[in-house]
């Protein structure tokens, strides 16, 4: 049996399955929008009371909030339950890991588990089929694809989460000095911490959406939770970055000992401005070393061709005439 006879039905089955999941997800989103419109008709007062009750109930686990699954998430959730996977327990335990990677949707844990438990098996089966049905004319191609599928099956999901977390941390690190400077300006103008965070989120909403999301969540927790130190600690835990831990500890010390918030933020702002300058100087210092290899690989052949080209042409002309 040729490899094409096995691969083509597998591809067709996967395409049909994906189309089915897209349709299910579309109708799931329509239902979600309808439910939200119904909740909005309950009134602003009831919404605030429900939000406050939810925040009080989640004080032990402030990172966990009640959210809805999409249609695709519901389908994967059902499949995982059929094979005996406790999705809810895993989602609660690993929510902080996904949040640090910027994956805030409740479907993230379901997609991860589906890939690790079901998608891994599918990838391995395809890899085995490619190895068993290998032909002599494209043996290396089949082996290469099989190896890639095996690597993706075992490490693909974890590599994706780590990559997303690294990218998010770089974005937050780059946005932090600007947000801190703006927070200092708001506090110096007489605003309290809640009002200053609200103003920072308003000003940086479009330019820096990632850090705006973190600060806005902290602002809501400061408003709704009775435990303000816990709200500031949650900011450090959600980001797991030294910059935000320093800001959280600074605000906690100012809250506990009654020190001047303006002076504290000014010192922290100057420190991170200097840190940003040192990072830029370090990148500028590495630039000549990083440019050496591309210049040698790309420029030297062209330079040799320009210098030696006429001489080579004359030598070839003499050899041809003789």
pLDDT of residue 21: 56
Write out pLDDT tens, residues 264-319: 888 888 888 888 888 888 888 888 888 888 888 888 888 888 888 888 888 888 88
The structure tokens 């009080």 sit at: 56
Q: Where are the domains of the chain?
A: 3-38+65-133, 170-277
CA distances from residue 109 to 18, 42, 140, 213, 304 in whole angstroms, order as listed: 19, 31, 36, 20, 56
**Mean of all residue pLDDT scores within the chain:** 78
pLDDT of residue 163: 93
pLDDT value at residue 229:
87
Q: 68: which DSSP letter?
A: P
- pLDDT tens digits for range 74-115: 888 888 888 888 888 888 888 888 988 888 888 888 889 988
Per-residue pLDDT tens for 118-145? 888 888 888 888 888 776 677 788 888 8
What pLDDT score was predicted for residue 165?
Answer: 92
Residue 311 CA to residue 48 CA, distance in Å, equals 84
């Amino acid at each position: 049996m040729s490899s094409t006879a096995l691969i083509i039905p597998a591809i067709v089955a996967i395409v049909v399955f994906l189309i089915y999941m897209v349709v299910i997800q579309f109708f799931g989103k329509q239902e979600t929008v309808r439910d939200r419109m119904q909740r909005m008709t309950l009134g602003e007062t009831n919404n605030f009371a429900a939000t406050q009750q939810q925040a009080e109930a989640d004080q032990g686990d402030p990172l966990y909030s009640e959210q809805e699954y999409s249609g695709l998430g519901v389908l994967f959730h059902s499949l995982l339950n059929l094979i005996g996977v406790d999705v809810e327990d895993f989602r609660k335990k690993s929510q902080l890991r996904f949040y640090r990677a910027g994956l805030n949707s409740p479907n993230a844990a379901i997609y991860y588990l589906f890939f690790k438990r079901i998608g891994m098996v599918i990838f391995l089966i395809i890899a085995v089929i490619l190895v068993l049905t290998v032909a002599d004319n494209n043996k290396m191609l089949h082996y290469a694809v099989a190896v890639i599928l095996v690597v993706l099956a075992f490490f693909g999901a974890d590599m994706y989460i780590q990559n997303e977390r690294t990218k998010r941390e770089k974005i937050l690190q780059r946005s932090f000095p600007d947000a801190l400077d703006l927070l200092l300006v708001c506090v110096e103008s007489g605003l309290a911490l809640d009002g200053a965070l609200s103003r920072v989120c308003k000003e940086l909403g479009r330019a820096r959406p990632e850090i705006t999301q973190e600060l806005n969540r902290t602002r809501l927790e400061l408003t709704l939770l009775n435990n303000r130190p816990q709200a500031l600690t949650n900011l450090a835990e959600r980001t797991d970055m030294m910059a935000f831990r320093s800001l959280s500890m600074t605000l906690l010390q100012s809250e506990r000992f009654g020190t001047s918030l303006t002076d504290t933020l000014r010192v922290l702002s100057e420190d991170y401005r200097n840190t940003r300058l040192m990072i830029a100087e370090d990148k500028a210092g590495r630039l000549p070393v990083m440019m050496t290899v591309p210049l040698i690989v790309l420029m030297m052949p062209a330079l040799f061709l320009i210098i030696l080209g006429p001489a080579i042409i004359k030598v070839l002309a003499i050899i041809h005439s003789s």
